[in-house]
Amino acid sequence: MSRVTANIFRKYLSPFGVTNSQLTLLFILAKRDGLSQKQLSEIAVLEKSSLHRNLIRLVDAGLVAKEAFPLIKITDEGKSLVNEVIPEWRKAMDEIKSKLEGEGLLALDTLTDKLLS
Amino acid sequence: MSRVTANIFRKYLSPFGVTNSQLTLLFILAKRDGLSQKQLSEIAVLEKSSLHRNLIRLVDAGLVAKEAFPLIKITDEGKSLVNEVIPEWRKAMDEIKSKLEGEGLLALDTLTDKLLS
DNA sequence: CGCATTGGGTTGTATATACAACTAACAATG
DNA sequence: CATTGTTAGTTGTATATACAACCCAATGCG
């Protein structure tokens, strides 16, 4: 299920040049800017080293800035991107939800049955 | 959500020395042995190159054999492992389900709201 | 005041994953 | 029969992720 949903997100997000994880971080910063890596990693449920490396890519892309180190801030460019992406992100969520619901209320049960029957 | 669930699986599976993905493949082969990589990759929704590399690790671990190449077969050791692991795997699933249900019927909605509010 | 402890951040390493490019082998058709 | 075309499998590369080990700074306590 992780792979299926990640594939759907990727399909909708790739035109924007951001990955699934990167967008999650941008969403968090767009809502509450100026977090430490520690805080970000807790909110995103992302190991601190993984977060660290994601940030490198976001800074390289100019979507996030470490100027106020140790605080992490989203740039104006990052904010614009978030706003542009949201409609496509919603489409991805809709596709995921219909896929999950289409296969029974809790797709996990179905998967369990299929795997362990 | 992918990270949260992967972490739960990892917690229960690590004592057995298999990863989440590897176990999925073993489950599939335990149910229907002797598949081509192509078939396996379709069933597991796993890109063929990713599958290829997972198989290398499974073969190294002696859980899967490529003797009947191009058919992939689970070894007796692999089958035993699957049987040993299933109870722990169920515990992981239970923990995941209670986490999902505990946060509202479709946790995805909650997540959406949290992220985009 | 100095040493120890703690905690955030960084780096090393292994696995996971996808996409793209390639190879090899088999098939179909002129 | 040879050339072409398709397809499974492999390899190259970039990102994602976790865990473990580290470093460095700040703080606390003897």
Test mutation, B25, B79, B85, B115, chain A, max A CBs within 10 A? B115
Burial A35-56 (b: 16+ CB within 10 A, else e): bebeebbebbebeeeebeebbe
Question: According to the model, what pLDDT value does residue B99 have?
Answer: 81
- Determine the distance between A84 (CA) and C14 (C1') in angstroms: 36
At A84-110, the pLDDT tens digits run 999 999 999 889 888 877 654 345 555
- Determine the distance between A37 (CA) and C3 (C1') in angstroms: 29
Q: Is the N-terminal amide bond of B87 cis, ω within 30° of 0?
A: no
Predicted confidence (pLDDT) at residue A26 exceeds the cutoff of 70: yes
Residue-level pLDDT, tens digit, chain B, 117 residues: 889 999 999 999 999 999 999 999 999 999 999 999 999 999 999 999 999 999 999 999 999 999 887 899 999 999 999 999 999 999 998 898 888 776 543 455 555 555 444
Pick the CATH number of B2-116 from 1.10.10.10, 3.90.700.10, 3.20.20.480, 2.60.40.2230: 1.10.10.10
Question: According to the model, what pLDDT value does residue B106 have?
Answer: 46
Q: Nearest CA to the C1' of D20 belongs to which residue? A: A49
Q: Closest residue of A to B41, CA-based?
A: A3
Q: Is A111 on the interface with B (CB under 8 A)?
A: no
Q: What number of helices (H) and strands (E) belong to chain A?
A: 6, 2
Question: According to the model, what pLDDT value does residue B109 have?
Answer: 56
Strands (E), A2-115: 64-65, 73-74
Burial B75-108 (b: 16+ CB within 10 A, else e): beebeebbeebeebbeebbeebeeebeeeeebeb
Kindly list the residues from chain A whose CB atom is less than 8 angstroms away from the CB atom of residue B24.
Answer: 115
Kindly list the residues from chain B whose CB atom is less than 8 angstroms away from the CB atom of residue A28.
Answer: 115
Confidence of residue A35 (pLDDT cuts 50, 70, 90): very high
At A71-88, the pLDDT tens digits run 999 999 999 999 999 999
In CATH terms, is domain A2-110 a member of 1.10.10.10? yes
Q: Is B16 on the interface with A (CB under 8 A)?
A: no
Question: According to the model, what pLDDT value does residue A100 have?
Answer: 74
- Determine the distance between A103 (CA) and C30 (C1') in angstroms: 48
Of residues B63 and A2, the one with the higher pLDDT is B63
Q: Over chain A, what is the mean pLDDT? A: 87
Nearest Cα of chain A lies from the Cα of B2 at a distance, in angstroms, of 5
